[in-house]
Structure 1
Amino acid sequence: MDKILELETIHDYHSFIGYETLHPLISVIDFSKVKPLRHARKRYGFYAVVLKDVKCGDVRYGKNYYDYQEGTLVFLSPGQIVGNEDTGETYQMKGWALLFHPDLLWKTSLGQKMREYTFFSYEANESLHISERERQTFLNCLNEIQEELERSIDKHSKSIITASIEVLLNYSMRFYDRQFVTREKVNHDILTRFEMLLNDYFESDKPETIGLPSVQYCADNLHLSANYFGDLIKKETGKSAQEHIQSTVINLAKAKLHDPEKTINEIAYEMGFKYPHHFSRLFKKMTGMAPTDYRQMS
């Protein structure tokens, strides 16, 4: 197993690729100006948004491999590992990248919003595939940031640069929303598999042995990251994945409440609740009445 190359700062990455550092906390990289590189497994200490302009083979990202195609945007957050083992071969990257360190966002409005950009936690096979028009919008944002970096740094630089990054990330959110729409059939298939997964789960003994299914459990079984899965379900149905799980739980519990031989506590344990009062609380929240009241009405 190759050693993981630790690239904690923007300067560390620049040293790796042979690039000039204009600002210690942010960089716009034109890979056509970068020398051919050898493969390496790298851990970044900064955010990276990478535009791959040409197909460049299978790249390892986390535990999986992904075949990058033209016009692919990849979002990396600090601590993530990306790259292939060093085989001695070199490759020429083509495209662009925006790198920015978390320290740049300290005491900024963007720093407080970064959690909203959930695509930084997506898996590689959930990357953003952009159109030529979207690609040009992305490059325009990079050009504005680069122009600011080439000016002398003054008291306005940080606010202007972070505002430009925020615009780029907001456009990325718009592009992802478009991708969710254009992949409607795929998304519908995932929703159907999600519903089947929940039905199979509650028909097994897993609720009593494992407990209630989590969003992470469902995402793992559908081979998606939890954030991408949650965003997909929300955009497809208007409800969160957690709300779908809770709705399934309550609908199945309603059927069980028609059986007078089962106590409320027994039903709660069968559904995966560790404590019966948690079941009663959720049932009342979802239906407006306690399980006992619902049973008396049925």
Structure 2
Amino acid sequence: MKKILKIDSPNDYARFVEAPVLHPLISIIHFDELAPFRHSLNNYGVYGLFIQRQFPEGLSYGMKTLQVSDASIIAVEPGQIGGLEDNGERISLSGWVLLWSPELLHGSELEHQIERYQYFSYFFTGSLRMEPDERLCITQLLSQMRQELLTHDDSPSLRSILLGYLHLILEYCNRIYLRQLSEEDNGGSDLLKRFHDLLQQYFRENRQLSQGLPTVTYCASALAYSPRYFGDIVHKATGGTAIGYIHNYVINQAKSLLMNGHNISETSRLLGFDFPHHFTRLFKKMTGLTPSEYLGK
């Protein structure tokens, strides 16, 4: 059975690594100041940013292994499990950790805005690669936040100041995320070719007969992307959605089958639909016509 550290409060992790406890709802930890500590596989009940020069190999998030670059940021959100299971080894790291409770956000604009930061998602399995100036700015903001916590008692005004700093740091992270997305978009045509080839292979091997229509999750995984990140890249490359691309491919296959003499029921089955009316509904949604109307044109 895996050893899992439950982090229901930001200070659960602070105590584990023997860092100072500064506030009940937020923890700012400077790894460079700590004695060596053990690895931990964490069950997060909090949000967090791990901002480090280097990360241990083999870090996981959910059921996936993270692809981590040097001088980068890993973002975590409540409800996920991530890290590296304690194996008895003690490690020294360089960087910072910012952890905060969802309670800190209650009633603030950031409570609603945080959902748009897609780099927190379980489906984003990479790290945010910082430029040197970004790393400097973010670490300076963390240092200033910690100084606020060290010199001022908890109060509504302090929490408002902390939220301001937090919002700024999250915006820096979002800029990095969007830049990486744009860099991936530069290879968008190659991705679309591989996406199209994958769909061709799926139907050539008749996987739809046992597995049904290909899903975005399946395609993203087969192409080594997270579903949400994959969807963002497809959207930037085509202006549409990944599921829309799949549906368009399926309907083009349907038109070919119909024109080659297959009836609606046969076409539906050959494409992996559970029921003919599901096929008819999608066909009309995509073409504006029912299969019968299409054949009658």
Provide the TM-score with structure 1 as the length reference. 0.87
Within a 5 Å distance, the mapping from 1:14-163 to structure 2 comes to: 14-53=14-53, 55-62=54-61, 63=63, 65=65, 68-122=68-122, 126-150=126-150, 151-163=152-164
CA contact 2:66–2:126 (8 Å) conserved in 1: no
- Which residue is 1:175 aligned to? 176
What is the rounded CA distance, in whole Å, between the counterparts of 1:69 and 1:204 in structure 2? 36
What is the rounded CA distance, in whole Å, between the counterparts of 1:234 and 1:40 in structure 2? 37
Cα deviation for residue 279 of structure 1 reads: 2.2
Cα deviation for residue 92 of structure 1 reads: 0.9
State the AA in 2 paired with 1:61: S
What is the rounded CA distance, in whole Å, between the counterparts of 2:158 and 2:283 in structure 1? 53
Cα deviation for residue 223 of structure 1 reads: 2.9
Q: SS where residue 49 of structure 1 aligns?
A: strand
Cα deviation for residue 50 of structure 1 reads: 1.0
What is the rounded CA distance, in whole Å, between the counterparts of 1:88 and 1:158 in structure 2? 37
What is the rounded CA distance, in whole Å, between the counterparts of 2:127 and 2:188 in structure 1? 15
Q: SS where residue 296 of structure 2 aligns?
A: helix
Q: SS where residue 239 of structure 1 aligns?
A: coil
What is the rounded CA distance, in whole Å, between the counterparts of 2:56 and 2:204 in structure 1? 42
State the AA in 1 paired with 2:282: L
What is the rounded CA distance, in whole Å, between the counterparts of 1:57 and 1:11 in structure 2? 22
Cα deviation for residue 64 of structure 1 reads: 5.2
Q: Which moved more, 1:39-48 or 1:16-25?
A: 39-48
- Which residue is 1:289 aligned to? 289
Going from structure 1 to structure 2, the CA distance change for 1:208 and 1:70 (only over 3 Å counts) comes to closer
CA contact 1:56–1:67 (8 Å) conserved in 2: no
- Which residue is 2:244 aligned to? 243
Q: Supply the RMSD in Å over aligned alpha carbons.
A: 2.5
What is the rounded CA distance, in whole Å, between the counterparts of 2:37 and 2:180 in structure 1? 32
Q: Which moved more, 1:28-37 or 1:105-114?
A: 105-114
Going from structure 1 to structure 2, the CA distance change for 1:189 and 1:18 (only over 3 Å counts) comes to same
In the alignment, structure 2 segments of 5+ residues that lack a partner are none
Cα deviation for residue 192 of structure 1 reads: 2.5
In the alignment, structure 1 segments of 5+ residues that lack a partner are none
Cα deviation for residue 43 of structure 1 reads: 2.2
Going from structure 1 to structure 2, the CA distance change for 1:126 and 1:189 (only over 3 Å counts) comes to farther
Cα deviation for residue 139 of structure 1 reads: 2.7
- Which residue is 2:165 aligned to? 164
State the AA in 2 paired with 1:256: L
Cα deviation for residue 143 of structure 1 reads: 4.1
State the AA in 1 paired with 2:234: I
State the AA in 1 paired with 2:244: E
* 1:244-283, Cα deviation, whole Å (9 max, x unpaired): 1111112222222322x22223222222222322222222
- Which residue is 1:280 aligned to? 280
State the AA in 2 paired with 1:58: E
What is the rounded CA distance, in whole Å, between the counterparts of 2:166 and 2:174 in structure 1? 12
State percent identity of aligned pairs: 36
Going from structure 1 to structure 2, the CA distance change for 1:125 and 1:26 (only over 3 Å counts) comes to same
Cα deviation for residue 168 of structure 1 reads: 2.2
Q: SS where residue 216 of structure 1 aligns?
A: helix
Cα deviation for residue 98 of structure 1 reads: 1.3
What is the rounded CA distance, in whole Å, between the counterparts of 2:35 and 2:100 in structure 1? 21
Paired residue total: 295
Going from structure 1 to structure 2, the CA distance change for 1:237 and 1:133 (only over 3 Å counts) comes to farther
Q: Which moved more, 1:125-134 or 1:177-186?
A: 177-186
- Asked if 1:269 corresponds to 2:279, the answer is no
Q: SS where residue 58 of structure 1 aligns?
A: coil
Question: Which consecutive aligned stretches of 4+ in structure 1 deviate over 6 angstroms post-superposition?
Answer: none
Cα deviation for residue 37 of structure 1 reads: 0.8
What is the rounded CA distance, in whole Å, between the counterparts of 2:189 and 2:147 in structure 1? 43
What is the rounded CA distance, in whole Å, between the counterparts of 1:124 and 1:275 in structure 2? 34
Within a 5 Å distance, the mapping from 1:192-231 to structure 2 comes to: 192-231=193-232
Cα deviation for residue 124 of structure 1 reads: 7.6
Going from structure 1 to structure 2, the CA distance change for 1:149 and 1:189 (only over 3 Å counts) comes to farther
Q: Which moved more, 1:140-149 or 1:32-41?
A: 140-149
- Which residue is 1:10 aligned to? 10
* 1:39-95, Cα deviation, whole Å (9 max, x unpaired): 232322211111112x34414214555574431111112233333343433211101
Cα deviation for residue 38 of structure 1 reads: 2.0
State the AA in 2 paired with 1:72: S
State the AA in 1 paired with 2:246: I
